[in-house]
Structure 1
């Protein structure tokens, strides 16, 4: 059963627990699924792996695992088994929507000031290229736990596409090849043992179209396929991860004990209405609540007769308000109280929309305390840490109508650039608040042993008025993810754009006092001009790092879209 936590005005806020949350009773089952299956991922090889699982009768979770194992091989700049992921899963038969948290955890040896030197925070490059940045990877345990709960196919089957590609070799994509010469001057990728030999054979970066195999990755996946997650979190692979994290410069404290102790979390899914629809997303340490807040705030800020330019301004201001709250309140809920109930209550959202700041005014967080039954105190200071866009997203709907929205990451491009057993280790601990002031209020996202860093990853699903699946969406893109995901929803659900038009629409990110506008296309230049005329401080950008991959159920058909800024594709099976 859904747990009702607030009813204020027209807004109903509820959470769906990991063991309940059914949208219908056993007596009322949904009609047979008649829309086929679909997957959209950031690489054709990954999409093909997902489709292979779906064609064999696999659950959406089976397809997601197979696709992500391939992405770790062909798109290592964005994610992999040395990192972590969030997975929102919808089970159509029961009506459950669950959030599986496979975020990395901080080793026991970390300290709140470990990124400080002589009273100042380390620059990002120094923090990023360090063993101190490596958290305990969560992806493999997430695979195992979600497969155990949802999977249809044998565990070993899920790794066959990735193992085959790793052994036979794959063509290096233009995007992967393009990253290498740019990343080498600012990273250790071309110097660190294992990584240098793999990505820069004979000292030269891999070229687009070159065939690259990875026998070490194949061996790692074979061990996992045979022995499950224990092959990864114990023994030789774990030892290789510890060795990689403890390399100079700035070696970390990652230990075998840290790795062996890792566990995923099943957390509540939070849902709110948007007009006749219901939006459901992951809870912290995810930031999916932020684009959900943006949708609700936008709805308050847009009048019934709003012009296109008025809608654009509301789109920007909804982001400014929600980002300020996200930066202040969000952290690992196992360590801090995040006032989700207050932030999503109808009263707070209406009041917050009324605090709309002038275009040239600084933006500050709101006060949801009065709208939270637990009376959570505002005891935090803000954390405006920048997350770099080294992430991927995939959306899947299987032949039974079950769905997965999965966002995965190693944090920055190529993670920490440290190699272990055929894959790269993450630099996820740089997502914590790196600056530490002992005399200031603590930050919700401060570093602590065993803690998960706040993430901008925002996997979300949308359901129609009858409670049936309407949309699966998400994106990579660091701190811009909430804005990208918000765009994907509002463009389709309010502006009437098609999925392809929505993902291609110029990105606009309004976090803090500047509004970043993607102006590579003429449409973006026009949007930047409108915002400048309205008094916003606009930063024009030629490109953005979005990778929205979404699926929409519209007029009796599944419609998929892959962000043209990446190399994604859509695969489908006819009903």
Structure 2
């Protein structure tokens, strides 16, 4: 009866799904670079308008997209302390006007003393909430090393100039916004974990300071002034690493050994970008230890044989297909993605078109795959990693910068959970990034690829992405925040722009379906997807759960030589032109 009902309800949509009339010929799937783009002015899109303004100030002073991105990251360290900052890390994806893409890995590292049972205390595995506060969760921060490398190789303005907006915000003060207030209210145990956090953001009654309160952070201003004057090594040598080590090793909860040598040894790394094609567009993002590129590209490529354009954004079948493809790509992500300096990651195999064609063949427009498991992409034939449980992630901030000469940066920065570990050093929060490792190192006698090891970088969901049109020119720079939902948000945005011909702003407003490689699929609570639950269940999705997802995306698109900014309507974000 269920199958018959599904067929009657969805037959017209199923026919549209099987059509491939909107898919360009194979010859269109190999974009080539063309002449450099020139724009009348640059633009910055960020999760906070004060940070976006910091970036545009660099553009107005003659800086480029890299300068603007670094200034935006520094300003976010001040005004969005719950999400990202110099106490965390990030991934940087940049293209020049000719379409040459580079990616820099500024992901945090585990201290040398870390080991696979790092999250076990007295023989018992800590829960995620138990592991977050204090020293156990803190990785060596990478954002300043990333910024230094990016600036040295791609920047234009003097290093110290990039700090001026953030220093002013910290010294003169910034107002508490509704979003920050809400985070302080719901995460008081972490944000107010130390006396520094309580003094900065809470009143004597223990409640967060009201919306609109001007907060001054002189300790942060002093830290930024020292970094501006002394250069990036000031973060990794001298007083700052001594302060970090003191906080981590003497944390009131979960103290752990981290040394000044751990911090001094940190280096941001060049990584090869991962690129694939979707309907003639070239999609480039971040490879391991990020799972961004593999998950985004694999999901899109498996969808390519279905005519999502004909189905449209209001079709339950379209969202069913997206969920099914996502389930398959997340299953591979969960098993295989980790720090490629420590374990073999078959990243190229995970986006191999022939492999993905076989995976796509598992997807049926008329019914659900009963049980999803990881595949065996090329390069994984001898791997036998276990499938870990999904971890919760909620923090992070994404921002996009494009300058008038056509350079573009897509940069995602994070301290992981809201307010990271809760530990503060001289005005900034330290990350809890090590909880992005799979805390249980083995399951059923098999090792987990993303287990903790000294010096290793935890797997990330961050997906800073660049999309180039069939003409080789940049079409879209996009990324998101929200933990494991990040690839899902980026996928949704790209489909909105390419398949449904939507402006990027409208594409970021689309609802999100999140299918992290398990039988349950999550849909954005309160969105139009809730009305589709009966149709999705008719297609076999027995476990469809409405959920308040941590969504926040930013983008800039290029249309006919003009820049159009986009910021998630769920956020306080804004795009500001030069």
Task: Normalising by structure 2, report the TM-score.
Answer: 0.90
Q: 1:190 aligns with which of 184, 189, 192?
A: 192
**Pairwise CA distance, 1:564:** 1.2
SS in structure 1 at match of 2:45: strand
**Alignment partner of 1:78: what SS?**
coil
CA distance in structure 2 between the aligned counterparts of 1:305 and 1:489, rounded to whole angstroms: 16
Any idea what SS the aligned residue of 1:395 has?
Answer: strand
Give the Cα–Cα distance (whole angstroms) in 1 for the partners of residues 546 and 182 of structure 2.
Answer: 19
Where in structure 2 are the equivalents of 1:4-43 lying within 5 Å?
10=26, 30-31=35-36, 33-43=38-48
Q: How many Å separate the matches in 2 of 1:263 and 1:269? A: 18
Structure 1 range deviating more: 229-238 or 401-410: 229-238
Residue 312 of structure 1: which of 316, 319, 326 is its match? 319
Q: Which residue of 2 aligns with 1:285?
A: 289
Given that 1:13 and 1:271 are in contact with CA atoms closer than 8 Å, whether structure 2 keeps it comes out as no
SS in 2 for 1:480: helix
Q: 2:171 aligns with which of 150, 167, 172?
A: 167
Q: Equivalent residue for 2:252?
A: 248
Normalising by structure 1, we get a TM-score of 0.91
From 511, 516, 531, the counterpart of 1:526: 531
2:8 — aligned with what? none
Choose the corresponding residue for 2:377, options 368, 372, 390. Answer: 368
Q: Does the 8 Å CA contact 2:36/2:97 hold for their aligned counterparts?
A: no
| Conserved? CA contact 1:112–1:448, under 8 Å | yes
Does structure 1 retain, via aligned residues, the 8 Å contact 2:28–2:280?
Answer: no
How many matched pairs?
546
Could you tell me which residue of structure 2 aligns to residue 102 of structure 1? 106
> Which residue matches 2:403?
398
Root-mean-square deviation (CA, aligned residues, Å) is 2.1
User: Does the CA contact (< 8 Å) of 1:169 and 1:213 recur in 2?
Assistant: yes
Contact 1:87 1:405 in 2 (8 A): yes
Q: CA deviation at 1:302?
A: 4.3
1:408 corresponds to: 413
Partner residue in 2 for 1:359: 368
**Number of the residue aligned with 1:332:** 339
Correspondent of 1:122 among 115, 120, 126 = 126
SS of 2:118 mapped into structure 1: coil
- Uncovered stretches (5+) of structure 1, i.e. residues with no partner: 1-8, 15-21
> Helix, strand or coil: the match of 2:289?
coil
Are positions 1:143 and 2:147 aligned together?
A: yes
Helix, strand or coil: the match of 2:575?
strand
Aligned twin of 1:457: 462
Q: How far 1:560 moved relative to its partner? A: 1.3
Is the contact between residue 337 and residue 376 of structure 1 (CA under 8 Å) also seen in structure 2? no
| CA distance in 2: counterparts of 1:533 and 1:201, whole angstroms | 52
Provide the rounded CA distance (Å) in 1 between the counterparts of 2:145 and 2:555. Answer: 25
Name the counterpart of 1:216. 219
Does the CA-based 8 Å contact 2:386-2:442 persist in structure 1? no
Residue 17 of structure 1: aligned partner: none
Contact 1:390–1:412, Cα closer than 8 Å, also in 2:
yes
Say if 1:233 and 1:518 are closer, same or farther in 2 by CA, change over 3 A: same
Cα deviation for residue 189 of structure 1 reads: 3.0
Alpha-carbon separation, structure 2, partners of 1:306 and 1:181: 42
Specify which of 257, 266, 273 is matched with residue 270 of structure 2. Answer: 266
> Secondary structure of the residue that 1:552 maps to in structure 2?
strand
Structure 1 residue aligned with 2:491: 486
Instruction: Give yes or no for contact 1:41–1:393 (8 Å, CA) kept in 2.
Output: yes
Secondary structure of 2:254's match?
coil
Equivalent position to 1:497, from 488, 492, 502: 502
Q: Which of 553-562 and 524-533 deviates more?
A: 524-533
Q: Deviations over 1:277-334 (max 9, x none)?
A: 1111110111222011111011134488657333222111111110000001100011
Rate the CA distance shift 1:447–1:213 in 2: closer, same or farther, 3 A.
Answer: same
- Residues 545, 565 of structure 1: 8 Å contact kept: no
The CA deviation at 1:379 is: 2.1
Listed one character per residue, the Cα deviations across residues 21-60 of structure 1 (whole Å, up to 9, x for unaligned) are x965xxxx72451353111000010011011111112111
The answer as to whether partners of 2:29 and 2:279 remain within 8 angstroms in 1 is no
The unaligned stretches of length 5 or more in structure 2 are: 1-24
